[in-house]
Amino acid sequence: MKRSVWVLILALGLVPPAHPQEAKPDSEVLAKIKALSGVIEAKEARFDPGVFREAYEVLIEQPLDHRNPDGPKFAQRFFISHADWTKPVLLETEGYAAGRPRESELVRILRGNQVVVEHRFFGKSVPSPLKWEYLTIRQAADDLHRIVAALKTLYPGKWVSSGTSKGGQTTLFYKFFHPGDVDASVPYVAPINIAQEDPRLYHFLRNAGDEAVRKRMTDYQIALFRREDEIMPLVRELAERRKWTFSIGLSEAYEYGVLEYPFAFWQYGTVKPSDIPAPDAPAETLFGHLEKTNAIYYYSDQGKKAFEPFMYQAFTEIGYYNYDITDFKGHMKTLKNPTNLVLCPPGVSIAYNPVPMQDVHRFLQYGANNVIYIYGELDPWSATQIELIGRTDAVKIVVRNGYHGSRIKDFSPEQKDLFYSSMEKWLGLELERR
């Protein structure tokens, strides 16, 4: 019936002719963003309704080398989610690529604006050609400083910086190089590694859980090595299903995944000690458990490509870890001297400089005020957490039985009181307690 009516309407010419949609005029927010120095492009971005009224994706021109501002440039992406010009601003310091704006728990607490900055060399913020020597913590901090200086002409209120994991590290590096830019910093689960292979991570994994759990994990890994030929068809099927390729070799990637398993096990808590299969379990059960940790993905070509900039930074400045193979030397079929250097960009010189992280570590202990460090007790990255020595006005909160996903919502009542009272003191604002 409805289709017949529309046919009649069309036949009688009663439908008005289509006109091109008129261009939507810029909002005041968008017009002011476009007028900022260095902005190349700004366009509307999707956002979750709630705190924000509008959101924009912005490209700004940045020097590849901030010490040479007249040299080569690249476009860096960031997102602005606008609530009110007078409200606080949460600066999310991404360590990787940035996605569309989402309300974080901190911005809901602040009831303010949010700026999410994509890290240089990730996502759409990639210089061409790639000159890896300019991927440093100093250059990334200077990127943030330039963006914040521009945006403070629009948002004169309080500023809080925050990031998670590598993004949390970026928050702290930014604090080190530009300590006066923001009023408070809240890095989530941010390790402070002080060596290319920080030995504290090995110590953590050797002592995580109780002795029975550690033995169960080791027995499981040995079974994965011993039964590799039996499990390999399942690895191939996974690779085909996920469309993963492995330039380093499928067997090498599988064995790296087995070595990565304990770190992946403890980092997110997606699998529990009671889930660990017995060594004589069916091959499908053994591999299914490993698959839940996603440990093999990082050694696929797709995983390597996504994390190459991070691995470059890890092995040249910010530190990482390798594997203790003491228990597995007689069981690995392919790997002889495994090292996560295999994840670094191919053909690029890798030389570790210990000085930046030593300087950052010293500053955080002696000079970094108005910082709340958040860690998960069971997260391996908590092994290299900052140790406060009472020289700064800073707070550290460790979530009991928490993993890499530990957040403010997971705090105990006493920890929440400490968090809110500290933030309110530093910002001079009354916050919405959750």
- pLDDT per residue as tens, the chain (434 positions): 433 333 323 333 333 333 333 335 679 999 999 999 999 999 999 987 788 999 999 999 999 999 999 999 999 999 999 999 999 999 999 999 998 888 999 999 999 999 999 999 999 999 999 999 999 999 999 999 999 999 999 999 999 999 999 999 999 999 999 999 999 999 999 999 999 999 999 999 999 999 999 999 999 999 999 999 999 999 999 999 999 999 999 999 999 999 999 999 999 999 999 999 999 999 999 999 999 999 999 999 999 999 999 999 999 999 999 999 999 999 999 999 999 999 999 999 999 999 999 999 999 999 999 999 999 999 999 999 999 999 999 999 999 999 999 999 999 999 999 999 999 999 999 998 88
According to the model, what pLDDT value does residue 142 have? Answer: 98
Contact (Cβ atoms closer than 8 angstroms) between residue 183 and residue 370:
yes
Q: What is the DSSP string of 49-75?
A: SSS-SEEEEEEEEEESSTTSTTS-EEE
According to the model, what pLDDT value does residue 146 have? Answer: 98
Task: Please name each of the domains of the chain with its CATH number.
Answer: 28-193+356-427 (3.40.50.1820), 199-343 (no CATH)
According to the model, what pLDDT value does residue 7 have? Answer: 31
The Cα 351–Cα 394 span in angstroms is 33
- Burial zone of 157 (CB within 10 Å; 0-12 exposed, 13-18 middle, 19+ buried): middle
According to the model, what pLDDT value does residue 266 have? Answer: 96
First to last CA, the chain: 53
3-state DSSP call for residue 31? helix
**What's the predicted TM-score (pTM) here?**
0.92
According to the model, what pLDDT value does residue 5 have? Answer: 31
According to the model, what pLDDT value does residue 188 have? Answer: 98
Residue 207's contacts (CB-CB under 8 Å, 6 or more residues apart) are none
The Cα 292–Cα 409 span in angstroms is 25
The Cα 152–Cα 161 span in angstroms is 13
CA–centroid distance for 24 within its chain:
35
The Cα 78–Cα 389 span in angstroms is 35
- Burial zone of 9 (CB within 10 Å; 0-12 exposed, 13-18 middle, 19+ buried): exposed
The Cα 321–Cα 301 span in angstroms is 20
In the numeric block, which tokens belong to residue 52?
Answer: 């924000």
